[in-house]
Amino acid sequence: MHHYIIKRLLWFFPVLLVTVTLLFFLIQVIPGDPIRAAFGDESPLSEEQIAALRVELGLDKSIMARYFDWLWDVMHLELGISFYTGSTVKEQILARTPVTVGLVTLSVFTMLILSVPCGVVSGYYHDKWPDWVLRFISILLISLPHFWIAVLAIIVMLTVRGYSISIEYINIFLNPIDAIKQLFLPAFIMALRPFGVGTRMVRSAILEIMEEDFIRTARSKGLVEKIVTRRHALPNALVPVVTFYGLETIIAIGAAVVMEGIFGIPGIGSLVVDAARSRDLYVLQGSILILLLFALFLNLIIDLLCAKLDPRIRYENE
């Protein structure tokens, strides 16, 4: 296991470097001058003032020089300042990260709670009516786009209650109950598609495992069905399931960007969208960097968990 962990950790850094590099250059491709964008078409600044600002912000340097400057800053956790608010990017990210983490966690939690039992029931009642009902629901949920459901939900909430959800900034640590109240609806909508996919995934994992030869061997040894399931079937079904939910968590980060935009929740996602609209360069780079780090970190966790569960991964290439 130690070999695997070290190998996997060593892989983490080159991948991180490549993604960070990609991120930097992709953002440079975005058209428009960030300073002009910041002040609008009728800029109160003279050409000299703009030039001075460019020098001050380091925008006059060559692209490679800016890349290495940025890398150096990132390594020192310096992410620059916003052209708009003047506050540091780090401050903004630190304030907004808990909201997005809360949203994604709540959503993943919801999909787990819904899809694992439903998948097990569907597999257990294979080809009987509970299986048919659940399979119909999953297909339905997979086919409905979540941004559409979100808009519908807002319309329904507005007609029924007169308001949808609170859009103010709520600190999840100081006020967890209000934060969950705020985040539950978008988290639930985000969880619908993975709920559908997850139900089918768990169902097929169970059905496949129960037909494996080693399950027959376990039965032939005289183990009772309960132990066959708990000791032989479940651990083997867990590997694909863990991988699936890990990847769904990463996808949920992307979905959170859309949901925060639609519901107006002040998280990292809406920060990214706002920064991209207004060419707020450093905020954009910094907030996407955080999302990237989340994704890479989750990938690392999935890989380590799978290695923990499956010796074939653990002892690979040894």
Partner 1 sequence: MEEILQIANLRTYFFRRFKPTIKAVDGVSYKVKKGETIALVGESGCGKTISALSILRLNPPTSTIVEGQVKWLGHDILKVPDEEICRIRGKDIAMIFQNPLSSLNPLMTIGRQISETFQTHHCLCGKDSWNEAKRMLNLVAVPDVESKMTAYPFQLSGGMRQRVMVAMALSCDPKLMIADEPTTALDVTTQAQILSLICTANREAGRATILVTHDLGIVARYADTVNIMYAGHIVESAGCMDIYHTPLHPYTEALLKSVPRIDKIGGNELIPIPGYPPLLDRLGPGCPFEARCTRRTTKCLKEMPPIEEVSENHYAACWHI
Tell me how far, at minimum, the Cβ of 208 lies from partner 1, in Å: 12
From residue 137, give the alpha-carbon distance in Å to each of 119, 130, 143, 190: 12, 11, 10, 16
For residue 311, state whether it binds partner 1 (rule: CB under 8 A).
yes
**DSSP assignment of 44-74, as one string?**
SS-HHHHHHHHHHHTTTS-HHHHHHHHHHHH
How would you classify residue 279: left for phi > 0, otherwise alpha for psi between -120 and 50, otherwise beta? left
Choosing from 135, 212, 254, 304, the residue that interacts with partner 1 (CB under 8 A) is 212
Tell me how far, at minimum, the Cβ of 310 lies from partner 1, in Å: 6
For residue 122, state whether it binds partner 1 (rule: CB under 8 A).
no
Q: Which stretch binds partner 1 (CB under 8 A): 4-12, 76-84, 198-206, 222-230?
A: 222-230
Choosing from 232, 286, 299, 303, the residue that interacts with partner 1 (CB under 8 A) is 232
Spatial separation of the C-alpha atoms in residues 286 and 229, rounded to whole Å:
47
Q: Which stretch binds partner 1 (CB under 8 A): 16-24, 177-185, 206-214, 260-268?
A: 206-214
For residue 3, state whether it binds partner 1 (rule: CB under 8 A).
no
Task: Decide whether 104 or 218 has the Cβ nearer to partner 1.
Answer: 218
Task: Decide whether 14 or 222 has the Cβ nearer to partner 1.
Answer: 222
For residue 216, state whether it binds partner 1 (rule: CB under 8 A).
yes
Q: Which stretch binds partner 1 (CB under 8 A): 19-27, 72-80, 105-113, 215-223?
A: 215-223
Spatial separation of the C-alpha atoms in residues 131 and 8, rounded to whole Å:
39
For residue 162, state whether it binds partner 1 (rule: CB under 8 A).
no
For residue 132, state whether it binds partner 1 (rule: CB under 8 A).
no
- Residue pair 316/4 in contact (Cβ under 8 Å)? The answer is yes
For residue 32, state whether it binds partner 1 (rule: CB under 8 A).
no
For residue 61, state whether it binds partner 1 (rule: CB under 8 A).
no
**Nearest Cα to Cα of residue 38 among 47, 51, 50, 28:** 50
Task: Decide whether 153 or 228 has the Cβ nearer to partner 1.
Answer: 228
For residue 222, state whether it binds partner 1 (rule: CB under 8 A).
yes
Neighbouring-strand partners of residue 81: 88
Helix (H/G/I), strand (E/B), else coil: 84: coil
For residue 2, state whether it binds partner 1 (rule: CB under 8 A).
no
Place of tokens 């032989």: 232
Choosing from 120, 219, 243, 296, the residue that interacts with partner 1 (CB under 8 A) is 219
Place of tokens 């059905």: 207
Q: Residue 261 — φ and ψ, nearest 5°? A: -60, -45
**Nearest Cα to Cα of residue 192 among 276, 277, 272, 251:** 251
For residue 312, state whether it binds partner 1 (rule: CB under 8 A).
yes
Other Cβ atoms within 10 Å of 1 Cβ, number = 11
**Dihedral of CA 27/29/30/36: which sign?**
positive
For residue 1, state whether it binds partner 1 (rule: CB under 8 A).
no
Q: Which residues bind partner 1 (CB under 8 A)?
A: 210-214, 216-225, 227, 231-232, 235-236, 309-312, 315
